Chains A and B, each alone.
Chain A
Amino acid sequence: MATAVPQRGDLDSRSDASPAQRNYARARSLGRYLATPLFLALVLLALYLYISGRTLDSIEQRSISSAIIVDRTIEHIQLTAVSTAAVVLLAVPMGVLLTRPAARRFTPAFLAVANIGQATPSIGLLVLFAIVWTIGFTPAVVALITYAFLPILRNTMVGLEGVDRSLIEAGRGMGMSKGKALRTIELPLAVPVILAGVRTALVINVGTAALAWASNAGGLGDIIQTGIATRRDPVLITGAVLTSALALFIDWLGGIAEDQLRPKGL
């Protein structure tokens, strides 16, 4: 008779055998984490050297004074942060709702509307809002939300639908309610995909916020616009470089958040 004593030997000791591998992975991700800020610091330094090596006229001095740069940067960050936070609060619950069996039949209609939002050029939307509604911070944020809604909605739905059905069945079979299964199984497992959507939305918003000047809502796009309107290259270049640097920096933050917030064990 075969006596089947449970054998520890059948463990594939992935967790034991790979400290070296893990160190390597950590060093690599550390390198990845440091590369972007280093690059951005170099770019900003170059910009600083370029500007300080020139004699600026009074228009240029006024347009890229440090007070203006700080103000515009804060505006830009505010626009991006508020619109992204709002779109997360709106699109994630919407994505959850649209993946529930009861609401499935509305899904195509909602996706069609979200598609229109994504397809409409945001500058057109801003101008439209300025004509029929108002200008300022709020319409700019609404335009950004409209534009960034689809990626988060889509990724929330894809993430939730990608959760292995057997895991939900196991949870329900052990007596989890639908809500409990959603909170403890579906959402945590969908987090990586949802976060990828959030990062995409963040990048879209930080880029699109450069158009917020059209709604008189400030942002770094304002500096670019001034540079174009006054035909001052140093101003234009400063605005463009700062906008790009901020976009890259925020994307970098998004990448770190994605890595850190991903559930362990996946």
Chain B
Amino acid sequence: MIRLENLTKTFKGQKDPAVEDLTMEIPEGEICVLVGPSGCGKTTTMRMINRLIEPDSGKIFLEDEDVTSVDSDQLRQRIGYVIQQIGLFPHMTIEDNIATVPRLLGWDKKKISDRTDELLEMVGMDPADYRPRYPKELSGGQRQRIGVARAMAADPSVMLMDEPFGAIDPITRSRLQNEFLRLQADIKKTIVFVTHDIEEAIKMGDRIAILRERSRIAQYDRPENILLAPADDFVANFVGSGASLKRLSLAKLSDIELIDWPTADLDTDPDQVREILQRSDRGWVLLLDDNRRPQRWVSSDDLEDDDEDLSRTGLRADSIAHPDTTLSAALADMLTSDKSSVIIVDESGAYEGVADLETITNATKAMRVEARADNGHDRDGLAETGTEESEESGGRLKKDDS
């Protein structure tokens, strides 16, 4: 846990403080992203946590310990630090780079060596191959991995990351972000992550603090809530257009209530299928095989010829999705599928439910209502029509565990 109390910093020769009276708390084991326009003081804020910049006033707490005036070199040895330029020492091997902090802490050789191997394996690089190499022999993505491994060398509970993926091409960046998120799910460090990229903030953050000039917090909340219920115009502008679409990439199909579509087995008698169709108002029946895997969509028109083999009538049931598919990916599938819907199946491929455009719209409305209720405020501009409808469909959104 990191707690900042009334931090203020004014740089020499400047009239306005770079950071003014900042108070915030970063919960244990979460990634907190500081995001804001350039010059808003986010990097200054981060660098005050490990006191590379000494605050003029205010207090810094690490795990409830006041570290505002402890020895700053020792403090930094307890905090992992990753910067945009990565800063691997070019004249040292990968092994020596990773061992930097353990050596400062005076670990014995065996322990350092074991830890180096462990870290290299953790970031997916073969220790025997990479230990003796120099940074210039690695690609950008590999250097970045070593940068992270080096920051984690002494297993700090807190890490500071200043645009760690900033200088990497978009494809590698996305891969490294995913890797890091998977790693973080295991190691659960308390992380302060600085970026100017709202997309990255939404992807990486358990919480996002949107900062305006002088590092004042415009909104500090979970990404979902920031997207759907921005606190003010500054946040709304910063998040930019398409906030609802971005929100869809945060929710998964498993988060929403699916439609229970009428189904029948492939070998069902066509008459029976017709009966099912008449009883439901959906107009189509989904045919499943023996393992309950979706096979075909059948409408009453397809059943006019009695002799027809059911496994060849109607439309093929494509656009299948798993529950952990994001809503934005599901939406993309729907737009390209004949039936404007996706069929959700479990691990074994067995049918679970169907989602269509209406499902998504209702889910977004529900999320918006919930976000606003969380924030305890309402904005007329976003209220749109039919509040009643939104509240009604609020039941469609399964309760999030958060």
A171 touches B124 (CB 8 A): no
CA distance A171 to B104 in the complex (A): 11
**B339 in contact (CB, < 8 A):** no
CA distance A170 to B139 in the complex (A): 19
| Interface residues in B63-95 (C-beta closer than 8 Å to A) | 73-78, 81, 83-93
B137 touches A266 (CB 8 A): no
Nearest CB of chain A from residue B169's CB, rounded to whole Å = 10
Binary interface encoding of chain B residues 158-191 relative to chain A, with 1 for a CB under 8 A from any of its CBs, else 0: 0010000000000010111011000000000000
B87 touches A166 (CB 8 A): yes
A174 touches B136 (CB 8 A): no
CA distance A81 to B288 in the complex (A): 91
A166 touches B85 (CB 8 A): yes
B91 touches A264 (CB 8 A): yes
**A32 in contact (CB, < 8 A):** no
Binary interface encoding of chain B residues 96-133 relative to chain A, with 1 for a CB under 8 A from any of its CBs, else 0: 00001100100000000000000000011110000001
Binary interface encoding of chain A residues 53-79 relative to chain B, with 1 for a CB under 8 A from any of its CBs, else 0: 000000000000000000000000000
CA distance A122 to B199 in the complex (A): 66
Nearest CB of chain B from residue A101's CB, rounded to whole Å = 12
Number of B interface residues in the complex (CB < 8 A) = 49
Nearest CB of chain B from residue A58's CB, rounded to whole Å = 59
CA distance A164 to B86 in the complex (A): 12
A177 touches B73 (CB 8 A): yes
Q: Which residues of B contact A233 (CB under 8 A)?
A: none
A14 touches B83 (CB 8 A): no
Q: Which residues of A contact B142 (CB under 8 A)?
A: 10-11
Contact-size category for A: 20 to 34
Contact among B76, B89, B137, B178 for A172, CB-based, below 8 A: B76
Most buried by A among B86, B89, B138, B324: B89
B92 touches A265 (CB 8 A): yes
Q: A4-B178, A264-B134, A265-B91 are in contact. Are A174 and B81 (CB under 8 A)?
A: yes
Closest chain A residue to B132 by CB distance?
A: A15
Q: Which residues of B contact A11 (CB under 8 A)?
A: 138-139, 142
Binary interface encoding of chain A residues 165-186 relative to chain B, with 1 for a CB under 8 A from any of its CBs, else 0: 0110111111111001000110
B77 touches A174 (CB 8 A): yes
CA distance A152 to B314 in the complex (A): 86
Q: Which residues of B contact A109 (CB under 8 A)?
A: none
CA distance A170 to B160 in the complex (A): 12
A266 touches B91 (CB 8 A): yes
**B205 in contact (CB, < 8 A):** no
A173 touches B52 (CB 8 A): yes
CA distance A188 to B134 in the complex (A): 15
**B37 in contact (CB, < 8 A):** no
Most buried by A among B74, B134, B324: B134
CA distance A31 to B88 in the complex (A): 34
B73 touches A266 (CB 8 A): no
A-B contact number at CB 8 A? 100
CA distance A185 to B93 in the complex (A): 13
B76 touches A4 (CB 8 A): no
Most buried by B among A5, A175, A189, A263: A175
A263 touches B138 (CB 8 A): no
Q: Which residues of B contact A10 (CB under 8 A)?
A: 139, 141-142, 172
Q: A6-B179, A265-B136 are in contact. Are A174 and B90 (CB under 8 A)?
A: no
A265 touches B90 (CB 8 A): yes
A173 touches B179 (CB 8 A): no
CA distance A173 to B100 in the complex (A): 11
Most buried by B among A1, A11, A264, A265: A265
A174 touches B104 (CB 8 A): yes
| Interface residues in A1-60 (C-beta closer than 8 Å to B) | 1-2, 4-6, 8, 10-12, 14-15
Closest chain B residue to A176 by CB distance?
A: B104
CA distance A2 to B249 in the complex (A): 14
B324 touches A171 (CB 8 A): no
Q: Which residues of B contact A185 (CB under 8 A)?
A: 89
Contact among A4, A170, A266 for B87, CB-based, below 8 A: A170
A14 touches B104 (CB 8 A): no
Q: Which residues of A contact B123 (CB under 8 A)?
A: 6
A4 touches B179 (CB 8 A): yes
Closest chain A residue to B97 by CB distance?
A: A170
Q: Which residues of A contact B36 (CB under 8 A)?
A: none
A263 touches B91 (CB 8 A): yes
Contact among B75, B93, B138, B322 for A175, CB-based, below 8 A: B75
B134 touches A176 (CB 8 A): no
Closest chain B residue to A10 by CB distance?
A: B139
B73 touches A175 (CB 8 A): yes
A6 touches B136 (CB 8 A): no
Binary interface encoding of chain A residues 254-266 relative to chain B, with 1 for a CB under 8 A from any of its CBs, else 0: 0000000001111
Q: Which residues of A contact B324 (CB under 8 A)?
A: 1
Q: A167-B87, A266-B91 are in contact. Are A172 and B75 (CB under 8 A)?
A: no
**B359 in contact (CB, < 8 A):** no
B141 touches A173 (CB 8 A): no
Nearest CB of chain A from residue B78's CB, rounded to whole Å = 8
B145 touches A6 (CB 8 A): yes
**B135 in contact (CB, < 8 A):** yes
CA distance A44 to B145 in the complex (A): 57
Given A174-B77, A264-B134, 13 extra CB contacts under 8 A: A1-B322, A2-B174, A2-B175, A4-B179, A11-B138, A12-B139, A15-B137, A170-B89, A173-B50, A173-B76, A173-B160, A263-B91, A265-B134
**A interface list, Cβ under 8 A from B:** 1-2, 4-6, 8, 10-12, 14-15, 164, 166-167, 169-177, 180, 184-185, 188-189, 263-266
**B interface list, Cβ under 8 A from A:** 50, 52, 73-78, 81, 83-93, 100-101, 104, 123-126, 133-139, 141-142, 145, 150-151, 160, 172, 174-176, 178-179, 322, 324-325
